[in-house]
Chains A and B, each alone.
Chain A
């Protein structure tokens, strides 16, 4: 949430190390179901959220850890959620793909591609109707720009001038489908068709993302309508942690090497003094060591409460047995 170089570095470094620790926990069998690593894309969440206020709203994706952390969620409770513990952000009911922290404006990671755009548009519209001058940022991948509902959401947001920044994280692949094989026209062209300003930024540079977002947020908060940012990035690792098991082969090794060469953690880290960088690294390690300890020490949820919270009205589902 910080705009200073050290703050931006702290966020990308936190996300990076969070993901690496989480992958360790997947391999250890502690996190079941696996995760969709955000490695390589950290600059986008960090840059966008640095330009938002604490009360602004975001929706994330199934690759959503970075969005939730960058918006200010507690890494310890986030990790506990991934481990399915009762102390998790969602009390172990959401897991990696549904992590949500409404208290810091995160309306949820979302496992349905493109689903967050319309939800966020409604939420921001509702808050502004109440007089709050909040804006929103909805993250989605390049695959989502072919989902009809997201395009419907573009139309609603533009028509009703709802200040939502649509942030396309174009990492080149929708699971294994390359952008060139999936997207007719251009991503920014989709926004322009609805009269929305759209820009392409280097998603590997947190400062660039932050600056572009800050400019868009300033326009939106002053009464402008929605905008789109296409952040070009590269996913360093697999689509999901099971990908290595099934041995998918769809990215040329030289492309992966070139992608990994532009590392947002290094790009931002190079802007810090050695001492500052070392201090942040140590701070992040301590935070994550505490997070792992917290998550592993936390109790599993009581199976008797498996359907707790299903109904906000207090309705209780029948049991399935007997």
Chain B
């Protein structure tokens, strides 16, 4: 079985969609030489008309993509660091997202915003380490955070084929994953998956934290039966899948590498408790409120949710009821 890295799965998804549909093209900073190592080989294969280096003009090229989409193309923008999304939030949220409704359905804006290396890359400090997916979920822009190699491929393909704007957050903590994959298929947007069945507590884990949740579940296997649910898409959230899992276990812990206040973990808990009577209060393991990642590695790690916190949260939740 061929072994594929998460990063190469993204490359393959881009290549497959560029091949399948002439309307797809890539733009971004330093993508012709693949500075992020995601667009490697694509310039040679598809040429400079399909793989376009942009000047450092994030706001303009993000709206340029909106215009190209209005004219019938399907742009994919690669952002080199997640913090750039703060710079182009206006262009995505105020224009790309709003145009279909504001025009009364006259147009579609099928742009994919790909953010490889979202979250902490150790040592990249405050302005390069955010993981701002909750912002887009709040606005209602389709937001996906693939956790596995197969999902990196399958969700990116679906994002490119989607007629709406989609932000794809590829967590830095997942880029170096490798997996044996035989078949790669599109993964539907808006559908979560149970990564590990369990009976006592559902751990909802976002992105690379799925792997931490699985490890903690293994560690605790002789004490607690942990189910791990990977929502994969944060907006639209797979509420039925989520509620189905928590209905079976009766307990909920969410682990999410974004800031706590108004974060996606709060939404996950809220939408579950609206529909399920839990055996114990739900818990969330997140970055602190308003966190800015400090530089020193020990400080960086201290701010991110880790396995020990998750283990403690699971154990407390079991003790509560």
Chain A residues in the interface with B (C-beta under 8 A): 57, 88-94, 98, 100-103, 107-108, 110, 112, 115, 117-127, 129-130, 148-149, 152-153, 155-156, 159, 307-313, 315, 317
The residue of chain A having its C-beta at the shortest distance from the C-beta of B90 within the complex is: A112
Name 6 A/B residue pairs within 8 A (Cβ), A-sorted: A93-B102, A119-B63, A122-B68, A126-B68, A156-B60, A308-B105
The answer to whether B65 and A122 have CB atoms under 8 Å apart is: yes
* B124 at the A interface (CB under 8 A): no
Given A115-B94, A313-B164: A122 in contact with B64 (beta carbons within 8 A): yes
The answer to whether A125 and B164 have CB atoms under 8 Å apart is: no
The answer to whether B49 and A129 have CB atoms under 8 Å apart is: yes
Given A119-B95, A312-B163: A102 in contact with B103 (beta carbons within 8 A): yes
The answer to whether A156 and B61 have CB atoms under 8 Å apart is: yes
Q: Give the distance to chain A from B237, nearest Cβ to Cβ, in Å.
A: 9
Given A123-B67, A313-B163: A153 in contact with B60 (beta carbons within 8 A): yes
The answer to whether B102 and A94 have CB atoms under 8 Å apart is: yes
Chain B residues within 8 Å of A101, by CB: 106
Number of residues from B at the complex interface, CB < 8 A: 43
The residue of chain A having its C-beta at the shortest distance from the C-beta of B66 within the complex is: A119
* B34 at the A interface (CB under 8 A): no
Best-surrounded residue of A93, A103, A313 (most CB of chain B within 10 A) = A313
Which 8 residue pairs spanning A and B have beta carbons closest together?
A: A122-B67, A91-B104, A152-B60, A312-B108, A122-B64, A309-B105, A118-B63, A123-B67
Chain A residues within 8 Å of B105, by CB: 91, 93, 308-309, 312
The answer to whether B67 and A121 have CB atoms under 8 Å apart is: yes
Chain B residues within 8 Å of A89, by CB: 104
Q: Give the distance to chain A from B198, nearest Cβ to Cβ, in Å.
A: 28
Best-surrounded residue of B64, B73, B91 (most CB of chain A within 10 A) = B64
The answer to whether B55 and A98 have CB atoms under 8 Å apart is: no
Q: Type the 1/0 row for B87-107, where 1 means its CB is closer than 8 Å to any CB of A.
A: 000110011000111111111
The answer to whether A102 and B70 have CB atoms under 8 Å apart is: yes
| Complex CA distance for A313 and B69, rounded to whole angstroms | 14
Given A126-B68, A149-B63, A156-B64: A312 in contact with B100 (beta carbons within 8 A): yes
In the complex, chain B residues 85-135 whose Cβ is within 8 Å of any chain A Cβ: 90-91, 94-95, 99-110
Q: Give the distance to chain B from A95, nearest Cβ to Cβ, in Å.
A: 9
Q: Give the distance to chain B from A135, nearest Cβ to Cβ, in Å.
A: 13
Chain A residues within 8 Å of B41, by CB: none
* B71 at the A interface (CB under 8 A): yes
| Complex CA distance for A21 and B185, rounded to whole angstroms | 57
The answer to whether A115 and B163 have CB atoms under 8 Å apart is: no
Best-surrounded residue of B91, B101, B236 (most CB of chain A within 10 A) = B101
Cβ-defined partner of B99 (8 Å) among A92, A108, A124: A108
The residue of chain A having its C-beta at the shortest distance from the C-beta of B54 within the complex is: A156
Chain A residues within 8 Å of B90, by CB: 112
* B72 at the A interface (CB under 8 A): yes
The residue of chain A having its C-beta at the shortest distance from the C-beta of B99 within the complex is: A108
Chain B residues within 8 Å of A156, by CB: 54-55, 57, 60-61, 64
| Complex CA distance for A57 and B201, rounded to whole angstroms | 56
The answer to whether B106 and A90 have CB atoms under 8 Å apart is: yes
Q: Give the distance to chain B from A306, nearest Cβ to Cβ, in Å.
A: 9
Chain B residues within 8 Å of A108, by CB: 99, 102-103
| Complex CA distance for A123 and B64, rounded to whole angstroms | 7
The residue of chain A having its C-beta at the shortest distance from the C-beta of B103 within the complex is: A100
The residue of chain B having its C-beta at the shortest distance from the C-beta of A151 within the complex is: B60
Chain A residues within 8 Å of B106, by CB: 90, 100-103
The answer to whether A90 and B60 have CB atoms under 8 Å apart is: no
The residue of chain B having its C-beta at the shortest distance from the C-beta of A123 within the complex is: B67
* B162 at the A interface (CB under 8 A): yes
The answer to whether A112 and B104 have CB atoms under 8 Å apart is: no
Chain A residues within 8 Å of B62, by CB: 118
The answer to whether A310 and B142 have CB atoms under 8 Å apart is: no
The residue of chain A having its C-beta at the shortest distance from the C-beta of B25 within the complex is: A129
Q: Give the distance to chain B from A88, nearest Cβ to Cβ, in Å.
A: 7
Chain A residues within 8 Å of B67, by CB: 107, 118-126
The answer to whether B71 and A309 have CB atoms under 8 Å apart is: no
Chain A residues within 8 Å of B94, by CB: 112, 115
* B59 at the A interface (CB under 8 A): yes
The answer to whether A126 and B140 have CB atoms under 8 Å apart is: no
Q: Give the distance to chain B from A1, nearest Cβ to Cβ, in Å.
A: 20
Given A108-B102, A118-B59: A125 in contact with B64 (beta carbons within 8 A): yes
The answer to whether A94 and B59 have CB atoms under 8 Å apart is: no
| Complex CA distance for A110 and B95, rounded to whole angstroms | 9
The residue of chain B having its C-beta at the shortest distance from the C-beta of A307 within the complex is: B101
The residue of chain B having its C-beta at the shortest distance from the C-beta of A94 within the complex is: B102
The answer to whether A148 and B72 have CB atoms under 8 Å apart is: no
* B241 at the A interface (CB under 8 A): no
| Complex CA distance for A148 and B90, rounded to whole angstroms | 13
| Complex CA distance for A122 and B110, rounded to whole angstroms | 13
The answer to whether B140 and A317 have CB atoms under 8 Å apart is: yes
Q: Type the 1/0 row for B134-151, where 1 means its CB is closer than 8 Å to any CB of A.
A: 000000101000000000
Cβ-defined partner of A88 (8 Å) among B55, B64, B104, B140: B104
Chain B residues within 8 Å of A102, by CB: 70, 103, 106-107
Given contacts A112-B94, A122-B75, A124-B67, 17 further A-B contacts (CB under 8 A): A90-B102, A94-B102, A94-B104, A100-B106, A107-B67, A107-B70, A108-B99, A115-B91, A117-B60, A122-B64, A122-B66, A126-B73, A130-B72, A152-B57, A153-B63, A312-B110, A317-B140
